[in-house]
Amino acid sequence: MRKIGYLRVSTEEQRPDRQIDGLRTECDELHIETLSAVSKKRPIYEAVIEKLRPGDMLVVWDLDRAYRSARDALNEFSALDQRGVAFRVVNFPIDARTAEGYYCFTVMSANNELERRILSRRTKEGLAAARARGKILGRPYKLSSDQIAHACREIGSRRITVTEMARQYDVGRWTLTKAMRRHQSTEAT
């Protein structure tokens, strides 16, 4: 029986070390994916599922590292089971092929989905509260107000092109154009 490990982290900043350490001794192979749980396409996961054969085992560290919702977990477990592929969650050591184990698996899947939805809601509420207090969210602008005003004057007087000005400020042409539009729309109001 081959034991194939699947690991997932949501961003490049997150480290899979905990999962690697936990699965290294449990698995013959480890496959690491870096993308959000809510992504529609998961190429590494799909490749792992494709290569599994009857008698193999898919191993994950935590249920939420592999599945984004209770429905996903249950559907995938059922599909693997029909193919003769075993499934193991290291941090939740139950046999989901038994009636009791399947029940626990279902409850745990629903609990993971609840946690994800609560976290999402809290994040949205926090962002809304920050915006209501006037906090500007997102990546900071690359150009200052003075630089944008200067670019508008220079380009407006045709002393320099947008491309040359963007190169001078070490930004992309689109970044400069967008900043100038934003500047002009605030001046118009």
**Residues contacting 165, CB < 8 A, separation 6+:** 151, 154, 155, 176
CA 62 – CA 109 distance, rounded (Å):
10
Q: How many helices (H) and strands (E) does the chain have?
A: 7, 4
Residue of 188, 129, 135, 181 lying closest to 155 (CA atoms): 181
CA 151 – CA 162 distance, rounded (Å):
8
- Could you confirm whether 10 is annotated as catalytic? yes
Element (H, E) at 8: strand 3-9
DSSP 52-86: --TT-EEEESSGGGT-SSHHHHHHHHHHHHHTT-E
Q: Are strands 3-9 and 86-89 parallel, antiparallel or unpaired?
A: unpaired
Q: Which of the residues 10, 120, 144, 157 is marked catalytic? A: 10
Residues with a known catalytic role = 10
